[in-house]
Amino acid sequence: SAVISQKPSRDICQRGTSLTIQCQVDSQVTMMFWYRQQPGQSLTLIATANQGSEATYESGFVIDKFPISRPNLTFSTLTVSNMSPEDSSIYLCSVFSPMNTEAFFGQGTRLTVV
């Protein structure tokens, strides 16, 4: 199994500012995934982060709004830029097990934009 440390666990931010969320995995992984989960909703995939290349974003998400870094095989950051109240959500990072048979999640970052 993989242990994922995600921080901060929660934050309250002013609109127009940016927040960077960090995700540290206890083992090397090829891909890291970032999800958004709005209250009472499902998880929506934001992007897939590969080490050494640009992240791949899903429809509706753009790099200018959600820049991602992946400096090595155990670490990634997601920045939520120029925040508005609509960005209030839980953000989760995730990795697959070595055989891609199971997904592990960080504990999430609960973001509130005021």
Q: Which is nearer to other proteins, 8 or 16 (CB)?
A: 8
Q: Residue 105, CB half-sphere, CA atoms under 13 Å: how many?
A: 13
Q: List interacting residues with other proteins (CB under 8 A).
A: 31, 33, 35, 41-45, 48, 92, 94, 96, 100-108
Q: Which is nearer to other proteins, 53 or 100 (CB)?
A: 100
Give least dist CB 35 to other proteins, A.
Answer: 8
Q: Which is nearer to other proteins, 31 or 73 (CB)?
A: 31
Give least dist CB 106 to other proteins, A.
Answer: 7
DSSP E strand boundaries for 26-102: 31-37, 43-50, 56-57, 68-72, 75-80, 89-96
How far, in Å, are 10, 34, 59, 69 from residue 6 at the CA level?
10, 11, 24, 14
